[in-house]
Structure 1
């Protein structure tokens, strides 16, 4: 796995610090048994995990990365490789359940079928239930040989401290404006107003921009909802209008799962906007507001009904008050 003088390509762009750490690990042949990738949603964490998994088990891997043509690479790209599994939230649940972790433990105890490594990816490790996280902890403490466990979360403190402490940490960051534009233009055929809207609302997240541009008309609908949402949480809006806007957000989508995803996406955008100080009229209390949004996201991930969760966030932000039971945040 000699990488000297060659740029390793695992599918992500604009993440030199994380890629340098990966290259050092591979060059030293001392790959940790567990890696934790953190960064904003859609910043490239899952892409990097999948690229690293492919590289480690690729039959024709070279200094520049996996071949993506051998049977192992194709199976990993399609998500059907027996040795590489992605453990995600199942339909009908808001979090990763302990039964899923136990099934992973049974699989990881088996010898790899076609690759060198048994690899497990948790793209939403922050959604592990406490019992599931504690069950995973046992494997992290005593992993079987040739096993790699990769977790992804928005922040290090979003997962159980004892789990995070047993992982090597790699941080991914939002892309700079020029890097974001170049990557999105390269991977989509978008141009004109749609492209500009996506870049404006992406906050440096290439995966988000690429995904929303793949759905005709979606970026315009999202921008419209953002404008309506910002008006609803303003001081001049009535509670009745806030509740109506919350209802519109909570009912956007054909299925229950899609409506939940859309609501989560809207609140994630709002949290990023607050953290980036992009909302001038909320600068003085951005941290408290971000904590309110985060509380709403926690409820949505916890399988709370979508509409009441969104209503609670909009009412709290509009009134300048925390949600009942929400921990305080310093501004």
Structure 2
């Protein structure tokens, strides 16, 4: 389920109690999703395994948490360890979700989804979008991959998996910890405890007073140090914008995460937040003032035709403790 940020009720991430009507609907939602989980757990519904290790990256809450940067980091680390990874994704928001597609470096985001387009352009990994992730995994195996990373597949139980990684937004966490529509959760908090790894996205610069990841959680920071022009020209150090006003554009699950990273570098941000997976038009950039435009890499893959020389993409890389990688690789090898 994907909701516009404008549609998120204030009580999801505030202190107000959710309305009783929403809690009644949440109870029905809990019963239906719980029945589905039990159906797969007890074998009433069949999960398929491709016969090679499967790592699933996902979250139990609505909205972005940092799954895509982690997926990219997984692909890169697995390659350095001698694996030939493939990525299976649904390709949210693409024009024809019923048609499975291979994603290339230059695939159009509207055809394959913005996140798969970003992953492919950054890594060149074999990537298959299919609403049936198990079918995508089998296609990747046939294409020569020896390990599968499933992007945003925690609730896709039809694909059997060896490792589950939950990604948590370090700022919003689980909100009021209630299920949809009373809260932002797709599954109960207890479901997260079943994941092999729980990664907390602390962003680029921690908020004041942030205590970081808790016990049993792995901290992840998103580090960006370059601004890449969308048209022509050379890359600039992101810090070179320090002390300047810029238009900052973010159409991700939590735009404030991007804005905070820029502010932490001393950049004067004029924020422009859009809904996750937003499809941009020229009118979206009629800001009324000519300033540099810094945007997330996920947004930039959709804006090449709309950009001028003032537009820059800010790629980030996920940084995690080495102990996380040791533990993950050990579990994959045991599987």
Q: TM over 0.5: same fold?
A: no
More strand by share: 2
Query: Which structure's relative contact order is higher, taking Cα pairs within 8 Å and 6+ residues apart?
Result: 2
More helix by share: 1
Please say which structure displays the higher CA radius of gyration.
1
